[in-house]
């Protein structure tokens, strides 16, 4: 089969357009699955209490060096109300909200996370010193905002 020169050009153009199109689709598909830095994932905010790990908020030992803490922020407190973790181990905090946007801020640490309905935010932290650390909500969330706090106990 012999193609006319212009047919070849148009065919090439068509193939290039198709490649470009597929590339854009591919980038978008990748973009939607991409997890941004900080490990943001989504959750149905109405089903927080049925969605792992928030169906059992609290501390879970993952292995000898890592612990996971699932925390639900809500007006005006945190679930669980008591958190105890060991010093010198990696603590992976997973935070969401059951109602409006709060924060999960551990004073004197680098842990300062938003607790957002529909999102799971993750932050890893290792406490070097045992003791009690204050956890505060830094996002205005309503009339009880200034009372929204709890404590985390870090043991040796
Ligand atoms: Cu919760 Cu401010």
ipTM for the assembly? 0.99
Atom number, ligand 1, closest to the C-alpha of residue 73: 1
* Domain carrying residue 82: 41-155
Same-domain status, 122 and 46? yes
Q: How many angstroms separate the alpha carbon of residue 101 from the centre of ligand 1?
A: 7
Handedness of CA 116, 120, 124, 127 (dihedral sign): positive
68 prior amide bond cis, ω within 30: no
Atom number, ligand 1, closest to the C-alpha of residue 74: 1
- For residue 34, the model assigns a pLDDT of 45
- For residue 28, the model assigns a pLDDT of 56
Same-domain status, 113 and 48? yes
Same-domain status, 63 and 103? yes
Same-domain status, 114 and 151? yes
How many CA atoms, within 13 angstroms, populate the side-chain half-sphere of residue 145?
A: 10
Q: Which residues of 4-27 are buried (b: 16+ CB within 10 A; e: fewer)?
A: eeeeeeeeeeeeeeeeeeeeeeee
Query: Which residues line the pocket of ligand 1, CB cutoff 6 A?
Result: 76, 102, 137, 139-141, 145, 148
10-residue mean pLDDT profile of the chain (156 residues): values are 72 74 62 50 94 97 98 97 96 98 97 97 97 97 97 97
Same-domain status, 47 and 16? no
Same-domain status, 54 and 105? yes
- For residue 35, the model assigns a pLDDT of 45
């Amino acid at each position: 089969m012999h193609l006319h020169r212009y047919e070849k050009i148009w065919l090439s153009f068509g193939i290039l357009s198709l490649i470009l199109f597929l590339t854009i689709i591919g980038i978008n598909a990748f973009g939607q699955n991409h997890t941004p830095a900080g490990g943001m994932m989504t959750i149905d905010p109405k089903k927080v209490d049925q969605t792992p790990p928030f169906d059992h908020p609290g501390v879970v030992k993952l292995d000898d060096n890592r612990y996971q803490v699932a925390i639900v922020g809500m007006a005006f407190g945190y679930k669980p109300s008591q958190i105890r973790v060991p010093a010198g181990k990696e603590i992976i905090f997973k935070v969401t909200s059951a109602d409006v946007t709060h924060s999960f801020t551990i004073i004197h640490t680098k842990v300062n996370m938003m607790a957002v309905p529909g999102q799971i935010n993750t932050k890893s932290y290792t406490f070097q010193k045992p003791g009690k650390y204050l956890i505060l909500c830094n996002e205005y969330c309503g009339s009880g905002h200034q009372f929204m706090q709890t404590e985390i106990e870090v043991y040796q």
